[in-house]
Amino acid sequence: MNKNLKKIVITAGREKSLLRKHPWIFSGSVKSSTGAASGDIVAVVAEDGRFLAYANFSEHSQIVARVLSFVEGDSIDENFFRQRIKAAIERRSQTAQNSDAIRLIHAESDGLPGVIADRYGKVVVLQILTAGIEPQRDLIARLLMEATGAKTVYERSDADVRTLEGLEPRTGLVAGQPLTGEVEIIENGMKIAVDIIAGHKTGFYIDQRVNRALTKSLSGNADVLNCFCYTGTMSVAALAGGAKSVLSIDSSGPALATAKRNVALNIEDVTRAEFWEADVFAALRKLRDMGRSFDLVILDPPKFAPTAHHAEKAARAYKDINLLGLKLLRSGGQLMTFSCSGGISAELFQKIIAGAALDAHVEAHIIQRLSGGSDHPVALNFPESDYLKGLLLRRV
């Protein structure tokens, strides 16, 4: 163990999660720290002096440290980060061969807590989400360019979680060539315009790639309702799959404008596409009152519950939209429903949907459980990385 590193000492009995290789250390489990400050690499030791891990320190966060390595003797230096980035990219060498958009680094699941990196063609979008990894920002950007040959590294460190770390949001060019507008990517033969500068997350929902492909396969000769459609990529997939009609609903006018452009980029007969700028909750009730019905309903709402603290309120919102979505399904129709809320577990999400079906007086079967693609891996020792959960249901 490097004697020059500052140490944090874990209270006796509180080291069990670390022994199970869980990478988070909460402030309440720390007995003492030897002057560690945010951004420091620290040695984590048990109260009896046993080495437990090396971690980066975030003094203002409830998660006060995040493990980089459980291997005693590791040097947490430039080569360490180079090898972690190289390994993460190599693991994705057979992933998303049908797309030039892919997640390269998925934080803790790739041994780089606080780091998200997504590639869109020759552009890499970087998120630095914790105070612990903040000092490594420029190094990580340089190593990403080195490993990928990207022409641009653009930062989108504007996620709400940075406020919990005592950090201000930050966006802008980090390295390489400036962005001059939207980036066009290809996914499963679809052309998609991505607004890296102002779009959600890193500009696009890469995690839904496999579910867009599923949507395409389910949409033949179907009337499709796509709620919270954002830039319309599920709608494009449905139209490309032969849908008779697709109604896309979102509250954002700019997002719908991009959705229309994405449809026009891919579909000759745009008359099959209808767009509503509306609150989805109100729109679902309007569709119910109009007597509309659909063969496939897609519900992919924003994050209703970022933490477990918000779960009760979020559960009511999820139940509401799914109850209405189920009522709008024709007999034999299918509901594709999602939650990206970290505060809602897969088990709780299924219970919510079951309650919605009960109150809607609808019987439905689970056909498939849905999640993100293989470029969003879930580490066995870190179930928190399994944030995207979904169900494909068929109305009986």
pLDDT tens column, 208-244: 999 999 999 999 999 999 999 999 999 999 999 999 9
Question: What per-residue confidence (pLDDT) applies to 343?
Answer: 82
* CATH code for residues 205-395: 3.40.50.150
Q: How far apart are CA 38 and CA 59, in angstroms?
A: 5
Give me the pLDDT at residue 35, please.
87
pLDDT of residue 1: 61
Structural contact between residues 262 and 232, judged by C-beta atoms closer than 8 angstroms? yes
Query: 78-183 belongs to which homologous superfamily?
Result: RNA methyltransferase domain (HRMD) like (3.30.750.80)
Spatial distance between the Cα atoms of 388 and 51, rounded to a whole number of angstroms: 34
Domain spans of the chain, in order of start = 6-69, 78-183, 205-395
Residue pLDDT, tens place only, 31-59: 999 889 999 999 999 999 999 999 999 99
pLDDT at 342 over 90: no
pLDDT digits (tens, 9 = 90+) for 100-158: 999 999 999 999 999 999 999 999 999 999 999 999 999 999 999 999 999 999 999 99
DSSP per-residue letters across 223-268: EEEEES-TT-HHHHHHHHTT-SEEEEEES-HHHHHHHHHHHHHH-S
Task: Name the pLDDT band for 307 (thresholds 50, 70, 90).
Answer: low
Question: Looking at the annotation, which residues are catalytic?
Answer: 340
Percent of the chain with pLDDT over 70: 97
* Mean pLDDT over each residue of the chain, to the nearest integer: 94
* C-alpha 285, offset from chain centre: 29
| Class of domain 6-69 (CATH, top level) | mainly beta
